[in-house]
Chain A
Amino acid sequence: MTSIAMQRRRATVSRVWAQFRSSRQGMIGLAVLLVFVAVALAAPLLADVRELNPVYARAQGNPQWGPPSVFPPLGTDYIRRSVWAQFVWGSRVSLFVGLAATVLTILIGSVVGIVAGFVGGKVDAVLMRVTEWFLVIPFLPLAIVLASVLGRNVWNIIFVIGITSWPSTARLVRAQVLTVKQRLFVDRARSLGAGGGHIVAHHILPNVSGLILANATLAVPISILTETTLSFLGLGDPTAASWGKTLEEAFVNGAMARNAWWYFLPAGLGILAVVLAFTLIGRTLEEIANPRLSRSR
């Protein structure tokens, strides 16, 4: 890579960062997200992992259904486990599943979108029909069926989310590739003898990467919500203490009827905050990548 290209790329990054910093919603989202990432990374320091073990909790003499006033900071659940420990360790699972599923979504969506847009013709037609097929299938039933057929572990949940949410990314990327492909510099590169692979890697990809990044950030909250939904429906990994699992257990064991708000509120608010943070960041990146969005406001 030439140094000119390097410089230009570095300039782009610092321009995007400057624009991002000037956006209040983007910075709020980033701050909230950093707090949760810090909580997830520092989980072993914040809560003893043994507090997730009901046998340990009972041996410690924890109360059952203890409110926060009795067992600070967040009370205990129906089998005496600390809700704070579940919240802290649950943030790891929820963030991990959300991010990993997004990587898969974006990977499938981008590859399909770029190939369809760049190669065109019959390949495009076939890929787009497949995409449409996935688009028209109602998302949640498909996810439920796949999750129950594949079995319940974290990797399968990631796979299920990835395989069901890539089509919109594919269509967006394809549209962008179609416009980029028509630009003059692509024709120039081709007439200088560049092959398809080179054009995609050096000319198409850099021009759709902004869109992909913005789309990825917006896909994370959807992935996190899907993981929560599947867990809440009892289709999550029984061994992973995600926020969705906390909500499901609270619901199944009658926390609502008991008014045990401390059991379900932390996980619920945690999901809300993380989803909001990613949405704010995603919106900001989208506006930077596609300035028309911000001008129309």
Chain B
Amino acid sequence: MRRLVVSLIAAVVAVSLVPIASAQEEEDEITLRVGLTQDWEVLNPTSGYTVAAYEVWNLHYATLTDKAADDFATVPGLAESWEEVEPGIEYVYTLREGLTWSDGEPLTAEDVAWNINTGRDQGWDNMVSTVGNIEATVIDERTVQLVSSVPDPKLPTMDVYLVPQHIWEPVATDYDTATQYAADDGVGSGPFVITEFTPGQSVVMAANPNYWGWEGEEPPYDQVIFRLFENPDAMVAALQQGELDAAQGFPASSWDALEADADIEVVAGQQGGFDEIAINGGAAEGQPHPALLDLEVRRAISHAIDRPAVIEDLWFGLASPLETISPSADPKWIPEIPEENQFTYDPERANQILDEAGYMDTDGDGIREMPDGTNPIVIRHAVNTDGDLAGSIGDLMVGWMGEIGIGVELEAYDQDALFGVIVDGTYDTFYWGWVPFVDPDPMLSYFTEAEIGNYNDANWFDPEYDALYTEQNQEVDPDRRLEIVHEMLTMFHAAAVYIPMYIAPDLQAYRTDTFEGWVKQPADIGPVMFSNSSPSYAQLTPIGADAGGSDINWLLWGGIAAVVVILAGVFVARRSKSTSDERE
């Protein structure tokens, strides 16, 4: 019993202390508090990989060209203008006047050229696909020329994060030193810069007075704190109680409760993120069950997966159907798949396909065998234990495959281990997801032969697809490029190695009584944060900063009163116990 009382007191003290702390905070500075559920892992912009880290970089590093909030169009960033000398080949950018880093050092064309040339030569992971063919030359302090050795449809967009040369040049002597640098210098060029990083807990970012976007005015608020929550329910509760101003990545099951809250706005942000069930295509060293190498079997499996049920039960209707992969945050790149070729949920048809292909259950145990009557079709489904829905999908997979006479063995791996298993090819199916960039090129590259053993998690390739990939990579006519991409994705869909489950929204919520000015990217359907360039933060303004002071006092005094009452109660209880002992 004592432990309970002590924790009660501790809880009361904690509750009453939190408002005191935030009250002091509010006197000095205005803070935007954002909750999230994914750890940052690595904050080095050349090698980090989490969505959480990209969000921090979006605030910390400005880019040469920016992306419009409405439609991702390429708009001026650090460069105020550019001139097209030869389409897809040569561009000359002019920087804004008087740019400086957050530490006051000037930001010049020298910085831009050093980033592009060094990133290309040292092969920085997150830069090489953008600058691999580009040579940057300084013309004067505010002018830089970019020349691509092959036609590049992505130019003039240049959206890689530019790091401060005066800090990085002594550190980044080769690939290893550059990608393993802690990047804890706190010098940036974006609206907010990192002041404190506590791995597994929080990132604190202070407003950068030198950011060009403030246009000489004071930043509207002082800092952003990202707080990591292990448990999404705790994050939802913190948002409801006003301990957070915004929360990203909450579970679909909390949607209704948050939507009903008058002070909270919920957003199901669409930016092309999707989940898939991948079937081992057999290109890695480890081989799948031989039946999976038959297109007919893969088609049958595709028809047996009940995607509408997952959207209804696990997403409460918030996700939208998807037939082939979504390679970009812009939905125009997704081709229309004719209805007769779609993999609609139809277990009867799936059974029929398997029967016709000769995969019969010859020994009557409910599991089909290969056409020669041997080798029962039992597949290994890898469950990613770090994924929120992976466990449920694993259970569903057993059920779906059971309907068509295919056995399933579930094997559990954490994120890292699963990556290794995919590279080795020692699996039959798994469930995972992607969030693509704006340009479809990276996502398309993942299914080429060159990416086997790296990002190609279908372990499938087709020389014809590879040829089309190279073609679109150098096609500067946007309409022709769109056509090629549609052809590639239709081809990839027909191979039935990668069954897209749905476009998964990023579920976000923000309080409407603390900050205003949230911006969706892209317009109407996109998320308000954790998007491709996260434009919200620089445009938010706080609402009525000093409201609620008296409430805090009431809470404080109420808390103290409660502690006194409880202590008195404990004291009285102790006394009566000791007197009864004495009386005995």
Which residues of A approach B to under 8 Å, CB–CB? 53-56, 58, 64, 78-80, 148, 151-153, 234, 237-239, 249, 252-254, 256-258
Contact = CB atoms under 8 A, between A and B. Distances in A.
Interface string B230-260: 0011001100000000000001011001000
B395 interface: yes
B431 interface: no
B383 A238 contact: yes
Given A54-B399, A56-B399, A148-B414, A238 B313 contact: no
- Chain B CB within 10 Å, residue with most, of A56, A58, A153, A252: A252
Given A79-B314, A238-B391, A55 B402 contact: yes
Contact of A254 (B251, B395, B409): B251
The binding surface of chain A is classed by DSSP as loop
B410 interface: yes
B436 interface: no
Which 7 residue pairs spanning A and B have beta carbons closest together?
Answer: A55-B399, A152-B412, A254-B253, A53-B399, A238-B412, A239-B410, A257-B233
Contact of B395 (A64, A79, A257): A79
The interface size bin for chain B is: 20 to 34
Interface in B391-419: 391-392, 394-396, 398-400, 402-403, 409-414
Contacts of B237: 257
Interface of B: 232-233, 236-237, 251, 253-254, 257, 306, 309, 313-314, 383, 385, 388, 391-392, 394-396, 398-400, 402-403, 409-414
B233 A256 contact: yes
B385 A238 contact: yes
Contacts of B395: 53-54, 79
B385 A54 contact: no
A148 to B, nearest CB: 7
A238 B410 CA distance: 7
A239 B392 CA distance: 11
B361 to A, nearest CB: 18
Given A55-B402, A238-B391, A238-B394, A257 B253 contact: yes
Given A53-B402, A238-B412, A254-B233, 20 more contacts: A53-B395, A53-B399, A54-B395, A55-B306, A55-B399, A58-B306, A64-B313, A78-B253, A78-B314, A78-B392, A79-B392, A151-B412, A237-B412, A238-B385, A239-B410, A253-B251, A253-B253, A253-B392, A254-B253, A257-B233
Contacts of A151: 411-413
A58 B385 contact: no
Contact of B396 (A79, A153, A234, A239): A79
Counting chain B CB atoms within 10 Å of each CB, which of A56, A148, A253 scores highest?
Answer: A253
Contacts of B391: 238, 249, 252
